[in-house]
Amino acid sequence: MSKKNVLFIHFKRYGDLLMLSSVLESYRHAHQDCSLHLLVFEEFAHAAEIIKRVDKVHLFNRQHFNFLKKNHLINKSYLLNDLHSYLESFKEYHFQEIINLSFDQLSMSIISYLSPPSFKGISFDEEFNPKFSNQWAFLFNEIGTQDYASGLHLVDWHHLILEVPYHRLDTSQMIPVKTNPSYNQLAFEQMSSIRKTESSRGKNSYLIGLYLSGSKKEKTLPVSTIARLIQLIIENNLGIPLLLIAPLEKEKKLANEIIALTKEHLITIEMDFISAPSILFNLDLLVTPDTAIKHLAVLTETSMIEISQGMPLLCKHGGRVKGSLIVSKMASMERNKSIESITALDLFQIILLKQKKITLKELKLSRQTTLYQAEEDSLGVFYHYLTGNRNSDYELSQNLSRSLLKAIYFHQFSNSSLHRVLDNFERSEISHWLDFEKECLTLTIKVLLKTLELNRASQGPVVNTATEEQLVMINRLASWPMLLGIPLKVFSAKWANCKEKSSSALEKHLLELKNNIQIYTQLITQISNQEAPSQRTPSKQVHL
């Protein structure tokens, strides 16, 4: 019997594509009899082509289609003919299932055109409204992208949407990306040679790879910061700094600038997607602001210090190796506006911590800088606060959003995981957060009860104006930066997507909201009842 063809549509950039490899690994493990196809934007083909579980990569040349669309010289028939023949070319594969994890309108249109027997993720229905394959796809679309409610990692969202358990490869198994055996051999020999040379000079042969640039300007560290970090590494004999760059002229220029500033004989290594894993295997530590390299390091299980500046959010896109350290500008809604960068001294100290030369207590990070560690619970990976400045309201909402999702959708109230979160905060911080949430809760209950009352008073095929006004207030409350925003956002989205706009349909949704608010209230009560330690010594444990 021939294998079932399954197409994944993933119109994302390098980092997200590499993250997808672990999702594909789990999907393949759960569905052994399928042939996996992957549709990506042509410009990110390099990343897609190294993912091991993919049997065939299909490329979408959006530049070509956009040229035909936007060029006033050319008749639009070229665009339509090309799009038509491109989409029709997928028919030959008879895809049994198409999985759209892109959550954008382009991929939704394509999946709707191809109309497979089964789909997962998001598509369009016949009225061009979003159609979700399960409640997780709906939740991801409505709250997964929201800052205050996105406590789940993207990879964990994807597993929930696909309804497959996370399949962990043990270290004896192969990594989920393709490598070139001759590059592996060459990298091993060259790195060993570097270690040997430095050791013979009495130097520390610990190899520290410094990836120089991020995908965006705001993610990249200033040249002076990298140069200072290198000097600190060399002066304190922490290891051998290696400059890692992509084979691009601008990155070579950047490396030369750093070498000129440090006046040191530094080794620069150019790596593309196929050679990068071979290099990463041989490093003792990687320091990187780049999302693509970060996710490659996750796949090669390279020990890493991740620099998280700007968007996207750490909680959704951070590295997933348990114990890896992430240094970030203070998390808040304004984090992408931060102008202060993480300093060389911050990174130097974190390397010392990684090498167990200082303790967490001795670490003194610069203003607005926070250090996290990747950890796992039953919902997947999250980022545990270790030290530094933080916005406690934001952090509490982020952390507790996991507990709330577990309570609402898995009916799990875990005292131990709640303790784990709360132990990390001062009593005053928890009280401050609780005061705001409770105030919002009182207001929300008033609005909800009034809405229920008004709706019941006017049963009909459409809700009345007074009830509509109440719904506007619920929408407004949903946008507030609070944990309670989660059930409110879910309600607002469900009602917006509901085709039947009768008062009885609204009643059903309002009762579901009421139920979710009751669960939220239980959680808030549980938090209030937690014994707050008097002289709190946060239970921080660093797994290095």
Partner 1 sequence: MQEKPLDIAHYEILTSKTLHKIPVVNHVQLHSLEDPLLEAKKFIHHFEKQIQEKRNYFVLGLGFGHHLQQLALRAQFYHQDQWEMVVVEPNQRTIADFHLYRPVDLGKKFDILTGPVQDLYSNEKFVRFLSTSPVLLSHPQSIQVYEQYFKDLFSFRANDSIEEIRESIKDPHFKIYLQQFHGDYHLIDCLKEVSNKKSENKFDYLLLTANFLSS
Cα gap 23→170, rounded to integer Å: 15
Q: Is beta strand 267-270 parallel, antiparallel or unpaired with respect to 240-245?
A: parallel
Which is closer to partner 1, CB of 113 or CB of 409?
113
Cα separation of 119 and 360, whole Å? 47
- x/- mask, partner 1, residues 118-157, rule CB under 8 A, reads ------x-xxx-----------------------------
Rounded CA gap, 133 and 151, in Å? 21
* 212 Cβ contact list (under 8 Å, min separation 6): 220, 221, 226, 243, 244, 245, 251, 254, 255, 258
CA distances 419 to 136, 358, 360, 384, 403, Å, are: 26, 27, 21, 13, 11
DSSP state of 177: B
- 70 versus 265: smaller Cβ distance to partner 1: 70
Spell out the residues 6+ positions from residue 361 whose beta carbon is closer than 8 angstroms to its own. none
Which of 4, 13, 52, 64 is in the footprint of partner 1 by CB under 8 A? 64
Residue with token string 């799009």: 83
83, 234, 505, 542: residue in contact with partner 1 (rule CB under 8 A):
83
174 binds partner 1 (CB under 8 A): no
Closer residue to partner 1 (CB): 112 or 204:
112
Question: What is the closest distance, in whole angstroms, from the C-beta atom of residue 498 to partner 1 in the complex?
Answer: 17
- Tell me the site size for partner 1, rule CB under 8 A: 38
- Pick from 3, 66, 199, 515: which binds partner 1 (CB under 8 A)? 66
Residue 113 binds partner 1 (CB under 8 A): yes
CA dihedral angle for residue 490, residue 158, residue 12, residue 217, rounded to 10 degrees: 80
Q: Which residue matches tokens 């084979």?
A: 247
Query: C-alpha distances in angstroms, 337 versus 213, 367, 460, 480?
Result: 19, 15, 48, 20
Does residue 433 contact residue 396 with C-beta atoms inside 8 Å? yes
Listed ranges 107-115, 188-196, 239-247, 254-262: which one lies at the site for partner 1 (CB under 8 A) = 107-115
Q: Which is nearer to partner 1, 340 or 500 (CB)?
A: 500
Is residue 69 within the footprint of partner 1 (CB under 8 A)?
yes
**Residue 357 engages partner 1 in binding (rule: CB under 8 A):** no
Among 13, 52, 62, 509, binds partner 1 (CB under 8 A): 62
- Smallest separation (angstroms) from partner 1 to the CB of 42: 13
Among 87, 248, 333, 496, binds partner 1 (CB under 8 A): 87
**Angle made by CA atoms 257, 286, 146, in degrees to the nearest 5:** 100
Distance, CA of 199 to CA of 194 (rounded, Å): 9
What six digits make up the tokens of 499? 């085709």
Kindly indicate which of the ranges 75-83, 204-212, 334-342, 413-421 contains the residues binding partner 1, using the contact rule CB under 8 A. Answer: 75-83
For 334, phi then psi, to 5°, come to: -95, 5
Nearest C-alpha neighbor of 95 from the set 64, 117, 62, 79:
117
CB of 60 to partner 1, least distance (A): 10
- Is residue 166 near partner 1 by the rule CB under 8 A? no
List Cβ neighbours of 465 (8 Å cut-off, separation of 6 or more). none
Applying CB under 8 A, among 55, 104, 362, 453 the residue interacting with partner 1 is 104
93 binds partner 1 (CB under 8 A): no
Binding segment toward partner 1, per CB under 8 A, in 109-117, 189-197, 342-350, 404-412: 109-117
Question: For partner 1, which is the closer residue by CB, 79 or 331?
Answer: 79
Shortest CB 106 distance to partner 1, Å: 4
Q: Does 112 bind partner 1 (CB under 8 A)?
A: yes
Taking CB under 8 A as the rule, does residue 248 contact partner 1? Answer: no
Nearer of residues 88 and 426 to partner 1, judged by Cβ: 88
CA 190 to chain centre: 34
Check binding of 410 to partner 1 (CB under 8 A): no
The C-alpha atoms of residue 149 and residue 143 are separated, in whole angstroms, by 6
Q: What's the first-to-final CA gap in the chain, in angstroms?
A: 48
Of positions 77, 173, 529, 534, contacts partner 1 by CB under 8 A:
77
CB 154 to partner 1: min, Å: 20
Give the one residue of 71, 224, 465, 515 binding partner 1; rule: CB under 8 A: 71
Nearer to partner 1, 128 or 410 (CB): 128
Our finding on whether 13 is near partner 1 (CB under 8 A) is no
* Residues within the interface to partner 1 (CB under 8 A): 62-81, 83-85, 87-88, 104-106, 108-110, 112-113, 115, 124, 126-128
